[in-house]
């Protein structure tokens, strides 16, 4: 069963912020939201994760709605190297499984 829903694709302009949405309406109280990305021909790269508070690191920001049913990954200044498939994954703290959906194919254009 899919726990998250993401748009299949989106285009972004280089230098602009990229906002990637994710719906996870059935998320449980002990489940975290993780984001990974996979650049072509490489292994998935961890980006960020959060429980209910907004999070920021050197790569991105994660905004989680108050009801936790959706979230947005923000790449503040997209570059061509950010072109990748982005995966939003819901996972509980005691579950080792990462269930990858189809993700969002993000294309950053010059």
Partner 1 sequence: SAVISQKPSRDICQRGTSLTIQCQVDSQVTMMFWYRQQPGQSLTLIATANQGSEATYESGFVIDKFPISRPNLTFSTLTVSNMSPEDSSIYLCSVERTGGVETQYFGPGTRLLVL
Phi, psi of 28 (to 5 degrees): -95, 165
Q: How far is the CB of 15 from partner 1 (least distance, A)?
A: 27
CB 101 within 8 A of CB 91: no
**Closer residue to partner 1 (CB): 14 or 32:** 32
Minimum CB–partner distance for residue 90 and partner 1 (Å): 13
Q: Which is nearer to partner 1, 97 or 110 (CB)?
A: 97
Query: Which residues would be at the binding site for partner 1 (CB under 8 A)?
Result: 32, 34, 41-46, 49, 51, 87, 93, 96-98, 100-103
Closest to 80 measured CA to CA, from 34, 40, 47: 40
Is the four-CA dihedral 2, 40, 42, 105 of positive or negative sign? negative
Residues 6+ apart with CB under 8 A from 41: none
* 13-17-22 Cα angle (round to 5): 105
Shortest Å, Cβ 27 to partner 1: 15
Nearer to partner 1, 14 or 100 (CB): 100
C-beta closer to partner 1: residue 17 or 56: 56
Least spacing, CB of residue 39 vs partner 1, in Å: 11
């Amino acid at each position: 069963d899919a726990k998250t829903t993401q748009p299949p694709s989106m285009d972004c302009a280089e230098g602009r912020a990229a906002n990637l949405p994710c719906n996870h309406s059935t998320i449980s109280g002990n489940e975290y939201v993780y984001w990974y990305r996979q650049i072509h021909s490489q292994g998935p790269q961890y980006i960020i994760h959060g429980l209910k508070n907004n999070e920021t690191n050197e790569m991105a920001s994660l905004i989680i709605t108050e009801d936790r049913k959706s979230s947005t990954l923000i790449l503040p200044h997209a570059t061509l190297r950010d072109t990748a498939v982005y995966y939003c994954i819901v996972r509980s703290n005691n579950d080792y499984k990462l269930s990858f959906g189809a993700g969002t194919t993000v294309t950053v254009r010059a």
